[in-house]
Structure 1
Amino acid sequence: MFDWTILVTNQHLLWWGLVTTLKYTIVTSLIGLVIGLVVTMALRSRFRVLRYAGRAFVEFFRNIPLLVWLLWSYYALPIFGGIDISKEMAGIVALSLYVASYYAEILRAGIQSIDRGQADASRALGMSEFQAMRRIILPQAVRRMIPPLSGQTIIQMKNTTLLSVITIPDLLYQASYISSFTYRPMEVYTAVGVGFLVILVPLTYLARRLEATGTRA
């Protein structure tokens, strides 16, 4: 029999873990989106050095597991780089750079999906490349990028569960802690799974609604 009273007794730990998970999801997704946009501009640059640098960034961070990045950021930087970094900052840096590499590819693909004639027409009207991107290209591309960006952000929230390996008290860490002294892991981890469902299912539905709205516009 499941004993749900342990969830009530330790709900403050679960709520704090949920807040921590949401905080890291939002902060790292926003930072990753900004970095991803910069990398996308490098990938589309007419300068070969910038294109190579952007491609190197994407391949470097996409092809090394996030768990390795988290451990390396927290444990290896102080040893090899002499950089004293807190576990919170290590988590933000690793998650942000990791998701930025995926966002960069999504943004690049979305921009390239817009007909090249749009950019040519913008330049014919006297717009600079930056103005054309801001006023013409990106507004159209964003509609097409909403589904993959939303999907990657949902994955990012699930990626935050790896923060527990560097003892950041996210939802999974708190679940592990509660299980360690209640010896009731099934109840605790079931609650964690339900919590993710309650948050992510509505977000997925909202993303689909935004996609449909953008398609009709």
Structure 2
Amino acid sequence: MFDFSVIIQNWPLFWKGLLVTLFYSAISISAGLFIGLIVGLMQLTGSRLLKTIGRVYVEIFRNIPLLVILLWIYYAFPIFAGLSITKFWAGFAGLSLYAAAFYAEILRAGVQSIDPGQTDATTALGMTYYQRMRRVILPQAFRRMIPPLAGQSIIQIKNTTLMSMITVPDILYQASYVSSFTYRPMEVYTFVGIMFLALLVPLTLVSRKLEKISEAVK
């Protein structure tokens, strides 16, 4: 029988975990978008070196599981670098660098979807690479990138649950803790699932709405 008292009695822990999850989601998405924009634009420059660096970055972080990245940064990187790293920075760095690789590909594809003739036209007008990207290409590409960026951000929120493996007190870590002393995993993890549904279903609906708007604009 489902015992709601387990949830009610330990609500402060669930609430604390949810706030940690939302905090890491917000900062890692923001940092991931920033890094992803830089990496994505690197792949679109005329420099072979920058293209190679951007491509290598994307392939490394897209093809290594996020959990491996988090564990490596938290446990292995301090040994290689000879310094200590807190679980906050390990979680932030791992999530941000991983997300950036996916955002970079979305941004690159969005820019490449713009008619090449516009690039030729802006070049003929004497615009620099930075000017044509900022004034002409990126504003148009961004409308097309909104749906996939929103979808990837939803995935990123779910990815934060892996931080529990490096003892960051997110919602899954708190759920594991509550389950360990209440012996009621059914109630605990069912409630965690409900919390994610309540958080992500509205965001998914917004993402679909944005996709329809984007299709209408094209």
Confirm or deny a common fold (TM above 0.5).
yes
- Tell me what 1:59 maps to: 59
Deviation of 1:120 after TM superposition, in Å, equals 1.6
- Tell me what 2:10 maps to: 10
Gap runs ≥5 in structure 1 = none
- Tell me what 2:116 maps to: 116
Q: Percent identity?
A: 60
Structure 1 residue 186 corresponds to structure 2 residue 209: no
Deviation of 1:24 after TM superposition, in Å, equals 0.4
The one-character-per-residue Cα deviations of 1:64-123 (angstroms, maximum 9, x if unpaired) are 111111111111112122121101100000110001011101100010001111112222
Secondary structure of the corresponding residue to residue 46 of structure 2: coil
Structure 2 distance, partners of 1:6, 1:84, is 37
Does the 8 Å CA contact 1:74/1:90 hold for their aligned counterparts? yes
- Tell me what 2:171 maps to: 171
Gap runs ≥5 in structure 2 = none
Structure 2 distance, partners of 1:124, 1:207, is 37
Structure 2 distance, partners of 1:59, 1:82, is 27
Deviation of 1:208 after TM superposition, in Å, equals 2.0
Structure 2 distance, partners of 1:185, 1:10, is 13
- Tell me what 1:31 maps to: 31
Secondary structure of the corresponding residue to residue 84 of structure 2: coil
Matching residue's letter, 1:27: I
Deviation of 1:157 after TM superposition, in Å, equals 0.7
Structure 1 outlier segments of 4+, above 4 Å:
none
Deviation of 1:171 after TM superposition, in Å, equals 0.3
Secondary structure of the corresponding residue to residue 52 of structure 2: helix
Give TM-score, length-normalised by structure 2: 0.96
Deviation of 1:132 after TM superposition, in Å, equals 1.4
Structure 2 distance, partners of 1:204, 1:141, is 21
Structure 2 distance, partners of 1:77, 1:119, is 42
CA RMSD across the alignment: 1.1
- Tell me what 2:20 maps to: 20
Deviation of 1:216 after TM superposition, in Å, equals 3.4
- Tell me what 1:204 maps to: 204
Matching residue's letter, 1:146: I
Matching residue's letter, 1:9: Q
Structure 2 distance, partners of 1:139, 1:110, is 10
Structure 1 residue 159 corresponds to structure 2 residue 182: no
Structure 2 distance, partners of 1:52, 1:126, is 27
Bigger shift: residues 116-125 or 15-24: 116-125
